[in-house]
Amino acid sequence: MSKKIFIDFKRCIACKACEVACEMEHGEARIRVFEFPDLTSVAFNCRHCEKAPCMEVCPVNALSKDDDGAVVLDPLKCIGCLMCGLACPFGIPKIDEYNKIMDKCDLCAHRRAEGKLPACVSACPTEALKYGDINDVLWAREGKIVAELKDIGDRTNVLEAYLIR
């Protein structure tokens, strides 16, 4: 089953705990918080696309999907040609200037191997970052609304309440 990091924009307070946690694990932060003038903020990392352009263009097959669906880089195969960085619609893979190979989020493969959450998700104080299967995460988020619908039965009121929110 493919697992990803989902972002609840509503909950992000731009504290950058995710960036610092990622930097602690990997030496360089692979997630970044973008802040906008109206005080909204978005933590943004690799989307680990179902049909990942970075993987498709890699000439040496250095990128592959692991069992959890994360797009991971094999540093021994990478030749630093930058093709993945060019192909990525989100500009995620970056060149590691020191080693001259690419660097990208692997959903903390070493932590997942120990049964832990990715570092950014572990840290996030507001739980704006969630790690899991899309159906589970969606159900956790929307389930409350569905439960309210069942509970109250009055569809108009609930819809109003939902729209106001």
Partner 1 sequence: MGMAEKRISVVCPWCSVGCRFYIVNVNGYPKKIEFDYDHDIRNHGKLCPKGVAAFQHLRHPDRLKKPLKRVGERGEGKFKEISWEEAIKEIAQKLSEIKEKYGSEALAFLGSERCSIEENYVLQKLARALGTNNIEYVCRMCQSTAVAGKGMVLGHPGLTNPFEDILKAKVIVLWGYNPAATNPVFFGQYIEKAILDNNATLIVVDPRKTKTAKYADIHLQPYPGTDLAIALAMLNVIITEELYDKDFVAERAEGLEELAKTVEKYTPEWAEKVSGVPAELIRKAAITFATAGTAALLTNEGVNQHANGTRTVMAITEMMVLCGYFGKEGVMSGAIPGAHNGMGAGLMGIGPHELPGRFPLHAEEHKRRIEEAWGFKIPEKPGITYVEMIDAILEGKLKALYVMGTNPAKALPNLKKAEEAFKNIEFLVVQDIFLTETAKYADIVLPAAAWFEKDGTAISFERRVQRSFKAADAPGEAKPDWEILVMLAKELGFGEYFNYSDADDILREINRIIPPLAGATPERLKKNLKGCMIPCPDENTEVPRLFVQGFLTPNGKAQLIPVEYKEPGEVPDEEYPFWLTNYRFVGHFHTGTMSHRSKSLSKRWPEEYIEINENDAKRLGIKDGDLVRVETRRAALVLRAKVTPHIREGVVAAPWHWDFNYLTTDVLDEYAKMPELKTAACRISKVEG
For binding to partner 1 (CB under 8 A), which residues are involved? 10-11, 13-17, 19-21, 23-24, 37, 39-40, 116, 122-128, 144
- Shortest spacing between CB 52 and partner 1, in angstroms: 29
| d(C-alpha 7, C-alpha 44), whole Å | 8
| d(C-alpha 72, C-alpha 103), whole Å | 9
| d(C-alpha 25, C-alpha 111), whole Å | 9
- Shortest spacing between CB 126 and partner 1, in angstroms: 3
- Shortest spacing between CB 84 and partner 1, in angstroms: 26
Considering the complex, state which of residue 40 and residue 99 has its C-beta at the smaller distance from partner 1: 40
Considering the complex, state which of residue 11 and residue 47 has its C-beta at the smaller distance from partner 1: 11
Considering the complex, state which of residue 59 and residue 98 has its C-beta at the smaller distance from partner 1: 98
Segment (H or E) for 86: helix 83-87
b (16+ CB within 10 A) / e for 148-162: eeeeeeeeeebeeee
Instruction: Output the CA angle 24-26-29, nearest 5 degrees.
Output: 75
Considering the complex, state which of residue 33 and residue 49 has its C-beta at the smaller distance from partner 1: 33
- Shortest spacing between CB 164 and partner 1, in angstroms: 10
